A and B are shown apart, each in its own frame.
Chain A
């Protein structure tokens, strides 16, 4: 509590608290101002933030450029969808299966890909994601390319996911849980090994750490949280399709993490907010400049990404000044 109060004094802490409070009461605000559309954007932001935080565990803290993270959207989502299409609607079954499936797939991919380096790692994670993508696209029974409408997970007597506000709050609570875990994780013994290996993996090996095992564990944990985000995404739209795990989505997730600030706790959340805000508000902003300019917003967003990559790698988090004491990363 004391640290929480202390953090309020810095601009970073103040902003974080502000953002979290705003997110916590978002359904009330959208109801009060009758902007229900904003709640659906808010839900997507929160779900993508969970996925981005999970990617940040390996990308930001581990320095591993995984280019296939959206595959966990797919694995989690399809676990829900396939069970649901076969008449198994209980969330108590679907969710653990989805998370377990994502973790298992992550462990398998990690075992094979973490032996490669640099660009080969980027490409092999991408390839495994594409592999699942095409499997999804080939599942005629589950809609193939077109995807499949599903019914939402059921938690009878606990929560009704069809209610938009309840579903949003569930996502928000899960985001908070994910952030809490990530904070502990990053500063734990495990997190130190992971971050040390990012800094200098030869050194970590020479100190006696079997770096591969720690990276594999991190990859698996990250996949499990990614799977959770996929489960939520499938429930948000009551719909699954291979498009949710296309490589473009994996790219979007990397953008979100970098945009917000790699290897920082709240960076991925800021990144998700900024990403969806740009998507929603850049078009109307451009429309002010001229008729129908907004339709072509990506012509602005593309070069923006280039500029961020070239000149602003610290992301939004770094705009808030340096972290007190030691940098995470």
Chain B
């Protein structure tokens, strides 16, 4: 019972991280109609920049906080130099150019930080466990990820639902021409959205770093998962991204946690151990295929 609860929490934690990554992606997708494969690179850059700033300030919190404006600027630069030239292009151009950005960033990281991976230590004040239920200790750091992730998700929900920028974002996601008609400075709005997406991606990257590791290409595979999430949720829908991220988080963790035992009943333990993570990944893609067959534009996507 406790084990199940802890695994569900792990799923929530993964889901929230994925949501942070997917939120920016779904907005750039929905508003600017940009397939940004390089979004995973911003996730990676967030982790690397945080590694440097944490070492420099000798404080996890301070370093993390400084990372956010730094990646905001990075996002703006990427938007101004490359991304904005792609909005009006077809998806193939976008795939190609942002694929180029991935190669560039992976190599840039190798030049600046070297080929070896880095690790960020769990901050000391979170390096303990807390008892969520009697007899169920849970790492405080993971719990902190959940708290921060949930807070940011709420902030984003408030931003989109209640503020003027959010109103424009919603309008833009459902009808791009409308914001143009409203006489809004679109270039500024696009830069802002892209920068914001970069910050969320970087936050996800830096928070994930102590749990996983900081390495070149760390954003490549997770990016595909983020794409799967926004496609399941429906492109442009924040709510959809949230629901899908939670679903995917649970499937992934439950698969990893419980499949090995189930598989052991008919596979050798080592085969079960290597098959389980794959099967949980496969399940995620099966979910996506199923959703798309059922609803070709995702759970909360625009239907025309």
Contact = CB atoms under 8 A, between A and B. Distances in A.
Contacts of B286: 131
B278 A306 contact: no
Given A124-B292, A247-B224, A313-B93, A134 B278 contact: yes
A251 interface: yes
A302 B101 contact: yes
B29 interface: yes
Interface in A132-178: 134-135, 137-141, 144-145
Contact of A302 (B107, B220, B228, B268): B107
A112 interface: yes
Interface residues of B, number: 53
A52 to B, nearest CB: 14
B100 A302 contact: yes
Interface in B85-117: 85-86, 89, 91-97, 99-108, 110-111
A102 interface: no
Interface string B278-304: 110110011011001100111000000
A51 interface: no
Contacts of A313: 93
B96 A255 contact: yes
Contact of B274 (A117, A118, A144): A144
B91 A134 contact: no
Contacts of B292: 112, 116, 120, 124
Contact of A138 (B95, B228, B279): B279
A264 to B, nearest CB: 15
A305 B205 CA distance: 26
Interface in A64-103: 65, 67
- Chain A interface size, as a band, is 35 or more
B231 interface: yes
Contact of B281 (A118, A134, A140): A134
Contact of B91 (A65, A139, A141, A297): A65
B173 interface: no
Nearest to A304: B100
A288 interface: no
A296 B111 contact: yes
Contact of B92 (A144, A254, A296, A304): A254
B108 A309 contact: no
A112 B271 CA distance: 31
Q: Which of A112, A115, A303 has the most CB of B within 10 A?
A: A303
Contacts of B254: none
Interface in B220-279: 220, 224, 227-228, 231, 235, 267-268, 270-271, 274-279
B228 A123 contact: yes
A105 to B, nearest CB: 13
Contacts of A254: 92, 95-96, 99
A131 B285 contact: yes
A295 B103 CA distance: 13
B282 A302 contact: no
Contact of B97 (A116, A128, A137, A310): A310
B130 interface: no
A46 B285 CA distance: 32
14 contacts: A67-B95, A112-B289, A124-B231, A131-B282, A138-B275, A138-B277, A140-B271, A144-B278, A251-B95, A255-B99, A301-B100, A302-B102, A305-B99, A306-B82
Interface of B: 29, 35, 37, 82, 85-86, 89, 91-97, 99-108, 110-111, 220, 224, 227-228, 231, 235, 267-268, 270-271, 274-279, 281-282, 285-286, 288-289, 292-293, 296-298
Given A301-B100, A309-B94, 13 more contacts: A116-B296, A117-B296, A122-B35, A126-B224, A127-B231, A127-B285, A128-B289, A130-B285, A140-B271, A298-B104, A302-B102, A302-B104, A309-B97
